[in-house]
Structure 1
Amino acid sequence: LFAFTLGYLVKYTINYQSVVSQAIDHYGYGYERTSHEGIGGSNGKIPDCPYSYVISLYGHNHFSPLVDFLHPTLKHKYPKKHSLILDIMDAVHLCLIMVDDICDHSPKRKNHTTAHLLYGSCETANRAYFVLTKVINRAMKEQPVLGIELLRALELILEGQDMSLVWRRDGLRSFESYGEESLLTYKNMALLKTGTLFVLLGRLLNQGGHQSDDLLGRFG
């Protein structure tokens, strides 16, 4: 009887932990109950939005130093375009991080709890798509050329992410290439995922021009 009871309790505990784990992944475990020193204010309260939370980790206008280095006069001559470019880069960079962390089941980002564990994977993913949709709409209205470059870059980045997920599931054989060719395919996947972000920055600064592609693509 003791063995039966013990076995039941162990099984019940494991099942309960599994259900709790799934609920945390799906809905988050309650950002309002979590204290993060130095994030969201002196009281440690974190933002009520996953995107704002990730911005608090990286800082608003994360690409500002690089933008000002590559185009020192942009902020003074074209402040609205400068602001739009920085908002585009923040949105693409941080929203893709939010989704990547969900895909990778990452527990930490810059030594802090990842957004999806605080807000849930559903809210985090939806907020990422919402922020990207808003910045696409804004770009198409304010600077259509930049909006087109943004859409093109997102397609390439998501293609790279899709290749990465398939590769993790099936290995190199999923690329349908062999030897050195498979290595080149892998490098292309990495370039699409990360290099495209920096190529996008050059395209935005050059009004769709390609002159910085080779240089900035190396950052990936």
Structure 2
Amino acid sequence: MTNTYKNKPFYYSLSNDRQEDEKLLEPITYYFQVPGKQITVKLTHAFNYWLKISPDRIQAINEIVTMLCNSCIMIDDIQDNSILRRGIPVAHSVYGIASSLNAANYILFIALERIVNLHPAATKVYMEQMLEFLRGQGMEIFWRNNFICPSEADYNTVAKKKVGSFYNLIVNLMKLFSTYEEDLSSLSAILGLHFQIRDDYCNLNSNKYTESKSYCDDLSEGKFSFPIVHALTTNPDDRQIRYILRQQTKNIEVKQHCVKLLEKFGSFKYTKSVLEDLDVKARAEIERLGGNPFLINVLDELKKWDYCD
């Protein structure tokens, strides 16, 4: 069950002293003061339109996925040397890298502790999807560290692993308690790719996004995000974006210049067209599966560009 600590949600270990847990997980609970998008929680309830599992199972799976998401967010912030998360300084800037890494790893194993108790087959599902996530995350870091611009196809494959793995985790854990037999992996992959590309778009082309993260921080990370991949692959003779990305600049004027180049090269327009196409594909897949008004509502919400937060 979810507990609260100082009016924040808290996920205690099943096998440890609660007072010690509160100390060890403080970097995690720090993020709970500002709610995130909670897209995974929304998807869990939406998928349950088909899977029809009990509320207690929904809650248990939501808690596990929330723990995993917060662990991955904290590690991601460290790997990317991020400055802001949800409009506040990243946890490792407040609590230090050592404590933040320990909290991220600790809650990862608290989630595993609950997975073991959830269902005999749940551990296999957990391992498969977390391995996929780490492969996706690892390749993204590999491209950045070695300054290799992926093809759009390679980007899509990695994005599906990185984000789609969480959606597959939700679905496959829910299926352990359901009689529903339709394969939802294709829909999970489409939704995962849609969310990642949309996140890339919002990071570089949304004023509201900068309220929760520093301005165009994907450029400061040197990340080969979707608009960047399009710009570099369609304009191989232009070196400005390459040089800006390699420097991992924090200079706002330089980042603004890069955004203008992305606009000039049609990268934002192309990214938005890809998102619209993915939206159509997702809706078609939902219709093929018999319809789902809750998933349609999620897609409708994602279509609002001011939802880039």
Give the TM-score taking structure 2 as reference length.
0.49
Equivalent residue for 2:156, pick from 155, 178, 187: 187
Contact 2:136 2:159 in 1 (8 A): yes
CA RMSD of aligned residues (A): 2.8
AA paired with 1:215? L
- Do residues 202 (structure 1) and 171 (structure 2) align? yes
Structure 2 residue 135 is the aligned partner of structure 1 residue 153: no
Structure 2 residue 68 is matched with structure 1 residue 92:
yes
Q: 1:136 to 1:85 in 2, by over 3 A?
A: same
Please give the alpha-carbon distance, in whole angstroms, between the structure 2 residues aligned to 1:65 and 1:131. 22
Q: What is residue 21 of structure 1 aligned with on the other side?
A: none
Q: 1 CA distance for matches of 2:159 and 2:119?
A: 29
Verify the 8 A CA contact 2:68 2:111 in the aligned structure 1: no
Which stretch shows the higher mean deviation, 50-59 or 96-105?
50-59
Aligned amino acid, residue 59 of structure 2: S
**1:73–1:190 distance in 2 versus 1, CA, 3 Å:** closer
Structure-2 residue corresponding to 1:138: 114
**Alignment match, 1:214:** 186
Tell me the distance in 2 between the aligned counterparts of 1:109 and 1:210: 37
In 2, Cα distance between equivalents of 1:214 and 1:195: 9
Provide the C-alpha distance between the structure 2 equivalents of 1:60 and 1:171, rounded to a whole number of angstroms: 30
1:91 and 1:132 in contact (8 A); partners too: yes
1:154-211 deviation line (CA, Å, top 9, x unaligned) = 11111111111111011227x7xxxxxx432232122211121112111122229771
Amino acid across the alignment from 1:56: Q
- Corresponding position: 1:108 with 2:84: yes
Alignment-mate amino acid for residue 40 of structure 2? F
- Contact (CA 8 Å) 2:125, 2:172: kept in 1 or not? yes
Query: Compared with structure 1, are the counterparts of its residues 194 and 74 closer, same or farther at alpha carbon in structure 2 (3 Å cutoff)?
Result: closer
The number of residue pairs the alignment matches comes to: 168
Could you say what secondary structure the match of 1:133 adopts?
A: helix
Alignment of 1:16-35 (within 5 A): none
What do the CA deviations read for 1:122-173 (whole angstroms, capped 9, x no partner)? 1111111111111112211221222221111111111111111111011227
Question: Which of 105, 111, 115 matches 1:129?
Answer: 105
The letter of the residue matching 2:33 is: S
The separation in 2 between residues aligned to 1:106 and 1:115, in whole angstroms, is 10
Tell which deviates more after alignment, 196-205 or 93-102: 196-205
In the TM superposition, residue 72 of structure 1 has moved relative to its aligned partner by 4.6
Q: Calculate the TM-score normalised by the size of structure 1.
A: 0.67
Q: Is the contact between residue 140 and residue 148 of structure 1 (CA under 8 Å) also seen in structure 2?
A: no
| Aligned twin of 1:120 | 96
Pick closer, same or farther for the CA change 1:210–1:125 going to 2, 3 Å. Answer: farther
**Runs (5+) with no aligned partner, structure 1:** 1-39, 42-46, 176-181
**Shift in Å, 1:86:** 0.5
Asked if the contact 2:139–2:158 (Cα under 8 Å) also holds between the matched residues in 1, the reply is yes
| Amino acid across the alignment from 2:176 | Q
- Identity percentage of aligned residues: 24
- What is the rounded CA distance, in whole Å, between the counterparts of 1:146 and 1:165 in structure 2? 28
Query: Quick one: structure 1 residues 55 and 150, their matched pair in 2 at CA, closer, same or farther if it must change by over 3 Å?
Result: farther
Q: Residue in 2 aligned with 1:168?
A: 144
